[in-house]
Structure 1
Amino acid sequence: MKNLLTLFGLILWVSCTSNSYDLIIINADVYDGLGNPPAKVDIAISDGEIIEIGDLGEAKSEKIIDAKGMALSPGFIDMHTHLEPLMDMPLAESHVRQGVTFALGGPDGGGPWPFESYLDSLDQMELGLNVGYLIGHNSVRRAVLGLDDREPNLQELEEMKASIESAMKAGAFGISTGLKYLPGAFSKLDEIISLSKVASQNGGIYTSHLREEGVGLIPAVKEAIVISEQADIPVVLTHHKAIGVRMWGASSQTLALVDSARAQGLDIMMDQYPYAASHTGISVLIPAWAREGGKFSERVSDPVLKDSIKAGIIWNILNDRGGSDLRRIQFSRVSWRTELEGKTLHDWLTMEGEEPSVENGAEYVIKAQLNGGTGTIYHAMDEMDVEKIMAHPMTMIGSDGRLSEPGNGHPHPRAYGTFPRILGYYVREKGVLSLEEAIHKMTGMPAQRLGLANRGIIKKGMKADLVIFDPQTVIDKSTFVKPHQYPVGIEYVIIDGVLALEKGQFLGRTPGRLIRKTELTER
């Protein structure tokens, strides 16, 4: 009798708890992340996963969110994130408030070094969102060759290949290059192909800040396509753009190159941020040879060399990232003179009583570099190119944003507003994308690209990385004048089943962690 009563009690307990969940979301318009139209279904979550989808009106839950009038989508995946401040900003509030649940770091050839020990340190940290990393070619090359403008010898190349191999086995998602930056600018095609083959053999992808995004853009895209073919590796043209007045409209050519390469069986994709202004250091205006070996100050001390350096800067201001106007060059971070943050190169010259000419602008670029450089916003892109690239079916979304916090510098507004801007401005206001297309570009498509098989779409058994937003009000608030503003309309963010944002309020929780690519391939 005792055993019978025990069995009866167990059956009763199972029947009472089989339809009880940690969290249920009801009445939302659910976008699956695959580009399909929304469905009106309920979502049940337990133990960090989506357990049930359908009519859950009779189910019980510790918490129920009524999302009537709102959209529910997979959490946004940022394909290009500057996570350098993560150790100091582990909550990553500027990203979580945008709906980002996974961010990919190590872009543009940069990223942490030594790679493996950095990832081991992150394993010990409590994080506000999930992160993964690429291994940066510039980091690897700098460790072996410094800033020398030369090809590696056989031994040095093998050392670099071993570093890529080690990073891939430690969990890198692939290799990134920054061929416009030092020391990547000094690398030849054969070097990049050799290293990319190592990443490819370990299941990685290749993302590239192209060798040129201005006047040399077309050859640079062709170079990336050759790398894909020769290294047998999927390629992402990261933060794809056409920069500088002379190149406005060139996206028609670059997108045609992508289409042609894909028609030949090559795996070429892009990511993009939704702004007509870029951000990088002031040094991008300076010819690479002038900074080779870290001897810039010596070279500008030589009058003959300085004339050549200045001529190169003037050319870049007029034809490339400078946008032909000193007002298009805006300082975001100036550690040695913070009152310049938010001001333009034109403003700086005016403040100093100098004529705001291109020649004087070049002198002040040299002065800025000698003082330690600046973070700089370049308003040198055309909106039509932005929209054309965005609408291409192979374009994903990546903020290129650096983790930010109010009061710290004058960041590019993409750090706070990328994903809400897509949803509010480019979907609702301009109609460049449908809502389901935009969500696909921010969720299912990047998840597939990165091999995140259990994230990025809404399906039973998937990780519960979810965003609930109001499609009628969602919008970015950060501007180039006042960047430190969080978006509105992102109401809930759920990471691995844990509420990180509730009714628009950031909760300061740490449900995130480091995700290594090796975890995904070992399953």
Structure 2
Amino acid sequence: MMKCHRLAGLSLLALAMAGCSGENAKEVDLVIRGNQIITGAEDSDTPQKGVLVVDDGIILYAGAELPDEYDPQREVDAGDDIVAPGFIDAHTHACDDFGADNSNLNYLTQGVTTVFCGNDGGGPTAIEDTLAGYEQTGLGSNVALFVGHGTVRRAVMGEEDRAPTPDELIRMEKLVSDGMKEGALGLSTGLYYAPGAFAKTDEVIALSRVAAAYGGVYDSHIRDEASYGDGLIASIEEVIDIGKGADIPVHIAHIKALGTDVWGKSADIVAMVEKARQQGVDITADQYPWKASGTSVGGALSPRWVLAGGEEEYHARLRDPAQLPRIKREMTDNLRRRGGAASLLITDPKRPELRGKTLADIAKERGTPPVETAINIILTGNARVASFNMDEADMERFAQQPWVMTSSDGSTGHPRKFATFPKKYRDWVARKPVLTLGEFVHRSSGLTAQWFGLTDRGTLEQGKAADIVIFNPETYAPQATYLEPKKLSTGVDWLVVNGRLAIDEGEPADLKAGQGLRKSVRGENDGEVPS
């Protein structure tokens, strides 16, 4: 199609003046013009005026002016909206919601074009089958997966609280190897949760070596973000030890100092990470900008040893008069660490009789002590909670580190699932200058893509995948709250996923533009499990 076809109604003189130099112009899908383009690169801090040319899912051109050689089927004038790479959420539970509808609209309306799933040790071992199933149904966003240590351990050892035998370790290594061959990002662990909590460091190092052999990373929900057992500082040290022992890049999931016992420890942790980086450990972290974490009553308060063996044995211990005194003592201390019964807000839509009340409220209504109330809630189905346990100074210190990315850790009943990226922008860029606009964009896109090995996206550069968010800096804001956690965020006027408009002038459009992303890096052993 010639560029001059739109000049058909003009006079010959006008045609001559127009130049008609595009007789051989290439027809392209989309051109985006904007006054505030942030590329997502580390050094892209000042918005620039320019043009992006998109075709067949790729950015063909990024520059100051539109060359005559391109003839767009669609043009978007972003005006003074921010034009940035689509955001990449490094830690989600989005895939738990997949089924008949995988549109992921709650992430798209935040400007997120790629989500990582399989965090906290829960990732599948059948990576290719899982991604293929998602793609067959259709995906609103791109999805990348981790192999989950908890899934691997459970498949081989069940919920056993012991070290693996040599044969069991070999079988676990094989499962990790298979997942990496099929394109997993790396190995994820949930060392706070059963059965991951039952693994010793040497087991995790052995499995991490397998992921490292394929160019993968190690992503960890650390053993203790507070002072439950190992302690926050020791748990960070373990991540560093795994990085050294397995020679693998390591990542701390949703970094935080959880609970009054460890408030202020962020400075120590930053110093530890900086020292490890200077020693050659490639270590990063992600963070969400919410003072409340999301967990369950049982997850917040139950001692780890009580969880061994699965739900039936777990509940039996809670009912056992011989064990109950010890359990109550430990739960009482855990409740103190969390900030007390008033700090736990029930948000679970499956427990409408409790939703919107704190554990303190429910205990008062029932006339029972908070720990007894919590045990009853656990035995009658448990409940999701927002646990208000973080200090703002710690949060801001972590946010300012150049190695800390953005993540939601989105979970049922918590607004972070619908509103994390706009909240971070609103709180720490627009309202308070904790981050510059360029830092916010880079740590929500380019840094994440680069570190996790998604080399084909994350920045607005020629040849990169066309994942692009265009948001209004005045209206880009969270709408979800702790009691209304499912309200969609506002302010994303256009969103491009793999070159297709998923949001068009603020309205959902093509909600099946996502892809399963498979990491293609391979190790020197060409697929053999390392010895």
- TM-score, normalisation: structure 1: 0.91
Residue segments in structure 1 that go unaligned for 5+ positions in a row: 1-12, 403-408
Partner of 1:400: 409
Q: Secondary structure at the match of 2:479?
A: coil
* Structure 2 partner of 1:343: 357
Matched with 2:378 is 369
Matched, 1:289 2:298: no
Structure 2 residue matching 1:118: 3-state secondary structure:
helix
Decide which moves more: 508-517 or 152-161.
508-517
Alignment-mate amino acid for residue 56 of structure 1? L
> CA contact under 8 A between 2:101 and 2:137: conserved in structure 1?
no
For residues 349 and 471 of structure 2, the distance between their equivalents in structure 1, rounded to whole angstroms, comes to 35
> Are 2:72 and 1:61 equivalent residues in the alignment?
yes
Taking the TM superposition and a 5 Å limit, the aligned residue runs for 1:116-515 are 116-215=128-227, 216-284=231-299, 285-294=301-310, 295-319=313-337, 322-323=338-339, 325-333=340-348, 335=350, 337-352=351-366, 354=367, 360-402=369-411, 411-515=413-517
Residue in 1 that maps onto 2:9: none
Go from structure 1 to structure 2 and tell me whether the alpha carbon gap of 1:16 and 1:347 turns closer, same or farther (over 3 Å shift). Answer: farther
Aligned residues, how many? 495
Instruction: Say whether residues 1:26 and 2:41 are aligned partners.
Output: no
Contact 2:28/2:53 (8 A) holds in 1: yes
Superposition pairs of residues 84-95 of structure 1, within 5 angstroms: 84-95=96-107
1:520 Cα offset (Å): 9.2
TM-score by length of 2: 0.90
Q: Which amino acid aligns with 2:416?
A: R
In the aligned structure 1, how far is the partner of 2:158 from the partner of 2:341?
32
Query: How many angstroms apart in 1 are the aligned matches of 2:145 and 2:333?
Result: 35
Residue type matched to 1:299 in 2? R
Q: 1:479 to 1:217 in 2, by over 3 A?
A: same
Question: Which residue is equivalent to 2:4?
Answer: none
CA contact (8 A) 2:157 2:164 kept: yes
Q: Deviations over 1:249-290 (max 9, x none)?
A: 111111110000001011010100111111122222101111
Q: Tell me: CA distance 1:48–1:119, structure 2 relative to 1, closer, same or farther (3 Å).
A: closer
- Is the CA contact 1:76–1:100 (under 8 Å) kept in the aligned structure 2? yes
Amino acid at match of 1:496: N
Which letter does structure 2 place at the counterpart of 1:66? D
Output the CA distance in 2 between the equivalents of 1:168 and 1:14.
Answer: 50
How many angstroms does 1:299 deviate by? Answer: 1.7
Tell me the distance in 2 between the aligned counterparts of 1:69 and 1:432: 22
> Bigger CA drift: 62-71 or 206-215?
62-71
For residue 16 of structure 1, what is the aligned residue in structure 2?
A: 23
CA contact (8 A) 2:146 2:186 kept: yes
Q: Deviations over 1:382-437 (max 9, x none)?
A: 111111100011100111114xxxxxx6x211111111112222101011000001
Q: Distance in 2 between matches of 1:427 and 1:113?
A: 39
**Distance change (3 Å), C-alpha of 1:494 and 1:17:** farther
CA RMSD of aligned residues (A): 2.0
- State yes or no: 1:76 paired with 2:78: no
Query: In the aligned structure 2, how far is the partner of 1:141 from the partner of 1:251?
Result: 31
Percent sequence identity over matched residues? 38
- 1-side partners of 2:292 and 2:514: how far apart? 30
Amino acid of the structure 1 residue aligned with 2:261: R
Q: Contact 1:69/1:470 (CA < 8 Å) preserved in 2?
A: yes
1:502 offset after TM fit, Å?
A: 1.3
Instruction: Give the deviation of 1:246 after TM superposition.
Output: 1.3
Stretch of structure 1 that moved more, 340-349 or 172-181:
340-349
Gaps of 5+ in 2: 1-19, 527-531
Local SS of the residue matching 1:396: strand
Return the offset for 1:504: 1.4
The answer to whether the 8 A contact 1:179-1:211 is kept is yes
Query: Could you tell me whether the CA contact under 8 Å between 1:42 and 1:53 is conserved in 2?
Result: yes
Would you say the 8 A contact 2:78–2:470 is kept in 1?
yes
| Paired residue secondary structure (2:466) | coil
Local SS of the residue matching 1:372? coil
Q: Is this contact kept in 2: 1:81–1:105, CA < 8 A?
A: yes
Identify the residue that residue 13 of structure 2 maps to in structure 1.
none
